[in-house]
Structure 1
């Protein structure tokens, strides 16, 4: 490949941006969320892409969701996408282990005018999930936290989501590394453990959707609780 030819990632990002230019409207609030998150020293680059944020929003609209659990919320970017899809009495419960992140989430949510729809819980997400009653089920659980704990989060998500509800686990594609035995880092192994768990799980039906775009080659696992 010559130096003048775009890289594969540049092609993916350009395609993402092209489609987004037709399907995603300019959004000064979400732009400000990203800028504020960056200014506060949070690693905003690892937030979900705009296209995935819109996908989550559309999923919630499609199932007429009222309650959402987000496991790992970073600066609140995806929480805002999802909260916008909920009715006035709807709620996103966002779990975060970093105190700075919880502060930034609350600031961003307040600036977006959505404080009444987003509740932030500080602490280790697995412990927070175990303390939640299953008597108040969620319509969708979005898992985007530390990858070695994927299976632990997924098991609790099954308990907390309603029958027919959706569980989405982000970043399971990981540039194809889970399928390559030479890669043994903890995040990759976290994906493998989750897949092994789901293989014999009689309570869910699931698939992985691989993605390419501005975030590179990745993907998310999409599961329905039976």
Structure 2
């Protein structure tokens, strides 16, 4: 199986089940124009996030890693009118693009983008009593994945769902001897999920327009 075939199958699924619309298209164009890296979730993956939030009946969502707000739009669309999404973005330029994209999508009253290092912002959320969040999507720097997971557990409640993206690392995740920081951070997250008394989780490998990757899905049990 070739990567082109993965991409073609993704295109078929996307055109059938997650067709693009103007706000999502505009978000991608604005991200491209601003020079943001092409690392946003694929459309069918965005639709999966939206469905997970809807199945969860989410009213509060936390996103760690905003980029241009493409995944943020998918997630925010799952919320009721009085719902709330907080997205944390390290890069101020990326955050500005995301805010404009959310405003264009009519979601700026539901979704808020906060700028700064997530590990600085997360304690602030705890102090504010912003949680508990019904769903957390982790898609930021992989080195800090285990710390993001720890904070996600702190800011959720039994029944909440935690999703962490990009955990396969092109297959490098199986290399226990790897010194690559993103691999080590991802392996640490997986080991934490496996050992955590309050989490039940699994990991799914994916292929598609984003290449060979996958995600962790965990539920807070206690």
**TM-score past 0.5 threshold:** yes
How does 1:71-86 map onto structure 2 within 5 Å? 71-86=64-79
TM-fit CA distance, 1:182? 5.8
Partner of 2:58: 65
Partner of 1:28: 22
**Equivalent residue for 2:119, pick from 116, 119, 126:** 126
Partner of 2:103: 110
TM-score with structure 2 length normalisation? 0.95
Q: Quick one: distance in 2 between partners of 1:25 and 1:179? A: 34
Q: Quick one: distance in 1 between partners of 2:15 and 2:35? A: 28
Q: Deviations over 1:40-61 (max 9, x none)?
A: 1211x10011111000000111
TM-fit CA distance, 1:192? 1.0
Q: Quick one: distance in 2 between partners of 1:144 and 1:176? A: 18
Q: Quick one: distance in 1 between partners of 2:210 and 2:2? A: 12
Give 3-state SS (helix, strand or coil) of 2:126's partner: coil
In structure 1, the gaps of 5 or more residues are: 1-6
TM-score with structure 1 length normalisation? 0.93
Q: Does 1:138 align with 2:133?
A: yes
| Runs ≥4 residues deviating over 3 A | none
Give 3-state SS (helix, strand or coil) of 2:125's partner: coil
Please say if residues 194 and 200 of structure 2, whose CA atoms lie closer than 8 Å, have aligned partners that are also in contact: no
Give 3-state SS (helix, strand or coil) of 1:133's partner: helix
Q: Quick one: distance in 1 between partners of 2:139 and 2:83? A: 21
Q: How many residues align?
A: 219
Which sits farther off after the overlay, 106-115 or 128-137?
Answer: 128-137
TM-fit CA distance, 1:19? 1.5
How does 1:88-103 map onto structure 2 within 5 Å? 88-103=81-96
Give 3-state SS (helix, strand or coil) of 1:61's partner: helix
Give 3-state SS (helix, strand or coil) of 2:183's partner: helix
Partner of 1:3: none
Between structure 1 and structure 2, the one with the greater Rg is 1
Q: Quick one: distance in 2 between partners of 1:110 and 1:198? A: 35
